[in-house]
Amino acid sequence: MDRYRLPFDAEVAERVQEAADVFSLYLRIPDPDLARDYAFVPGQFNMLYLHGVGEIPISIVSDPEEPDLLMHTLRAVGRVTKGFEKLKVGDHIGVRGPFGHGWPLAQAEGRDLLLITGGLGCAPLVSVIEYVMRRRERFGHVTIIQGVKHHHDLIWRPRYEAWMRQPDTTVLLAADVAAAGWSWHVGLVTDLLDQVPLGPQGAATMICGPEPMMLAAAQRCLQLGVREEDVWLSMERNMQCATGHCGHCQLGPQFICKDGPVFPYTRLRTLLGRRGL
């Protein structure tokens, strides 16, 4: 069996607590051949296996051109993620992947970018932002919008502040609930879309976050003149296999693991926001 069906060993090289219940694991692949062969694109995910507990899909956050350390950022929500939370540097886990189709970065070259995220949905797009910042000349104006429920849910604040200082870059932050020290918008991500400097060409738009937020953001973008075929979303469903066999990740006729997780809006239009799909 190959690395899509049989996990390989990986070592936790670094662990960073990002927020009360959010942490990042930097993984090193001990097998030199595998480490050399392993390649991914932003937006793809791995199946991470915790010994004797279970396997879950987690997006890859790191830059594809720095594959020595694979970075994943997890929120501890349940059985498996809470187990991962307890891991220390030097512990080992299993990895299968990478899986799925990533963000349409080649198509987005030369265009303005609009990157809209909600909560930990920023993780799969942070890898896009880092990718773009390192190849800044290849892209037009970049707008980054991140929304959180509570002001203390904002992770990577120094990164957002650094991106704010970049030329030709707009960073807009929103929190539904904010306290003193939050100098940005209080309210929804969609409120901020009116401030986006959209040119006549619109923007290559990538959205990741809770489904209702993605739907609202996508619809607002379309109203503001973004073309439907320029809108891309990253979807989540229960995943057992990631190889297109277990049937759990189906959304209508799509298998999110193999047909996604990043989809053009046009393929999801009739399926989004439908309870129970």
Ligand X SMILES: Cc1cc2nc3c(=O)[nH]c(=O)nc-3n(C[C@H](O)[C@H](O)[C@H](O)COP(=O)(O)OP(=O)(O)OC[C@H]3O[C@@H](n4cnc5c(N)ncnc54)[C@H](O)[C@@H]3O)c2cc1C
Report the interface residues with ligand FES, using CB under 6 A.
239-242, 244-249, 255, 257
Least distance (Å) between residue 248 CB and ligand SF4? 8
- Of 199 and 247, nearer to ligand FES (C-beta) is 247
Element (H or E) spanning 124, and its range? helix 122-134
- The two tokens of residue 61 are 């956050």
Q: With binding defined as CB under 6 A, does residue 81 bind ligand X?
A: yes
Question: With CB cut-offs between 5 and 8 Å by kind, which of other proteins, ligand FES, ligand SF4, none does residue 90 bind?
Answer: other proteins
Residue 72: φ, ψ to 5°? -130, 140
In the complex, what is the shortest distance from the CB of residue 74 to ligand X, in angstroms, rounded to a whole number? 4
- Letters for 183-202 (x = contact with ligand SF4 by CB under 6 A, - = none) are --------------------
Residue 246 interacts with which of ligand SF4, ligand X, ligand FES, none, CB < 5 to 8 Å by class: ligand FES
C-beta of 133: minimal distance to ligand X in Å?
20
Residue 74 near ligand X by CB under 6 A: yes
Structure tokens at 71: 């970075």
**Closest separation between CB of residue 90 and other proteins, Å?**
7
Residue 120, classified by CB atoms within 10 Å of its CB into exposed (0-12), middle (13-18) or buried (19+), is buried
Structure tokens at 152: 């203390």
Question: Please, which of residues 221-260 interact with ligand SF4 by CB under 6 A?
Answer: 247, 250
Separation of alpha carbons 124 and 132, rounded Å: 13
Contact criterion met (CB below 8 Å) for 182 and 170:
no
Rounded CA-CA distance 43/105 in Å is 10
Smallest distance from the beta carbon of 258 to ligand FES, in angstroms? 6
- Please provide residue 138's backbone torsions phi and psi, each rounded to the nearest 5 degrees: -85, -10
155: contact with ligand X by CB under 6 A: no
- Give strand pairing partners of 233: 207, 263
- CB under 5 to 8 A by kind: which of ligand SF4, other proteins, ligand FES, none does 30 bind? other proteins
The smaller minimum CB distance to ligand FES, of residues 80 and 239, is found at: 239
- CA 73, 18, 133, 103 dihedral sign is positive
Contact 27, 12 (CB under 8 A): yes
Q: Which residues bind ligand X (CB under 6 A)?
A: 45, 56-59, 73-75, 77-82, 120, 123, 236-239, 261
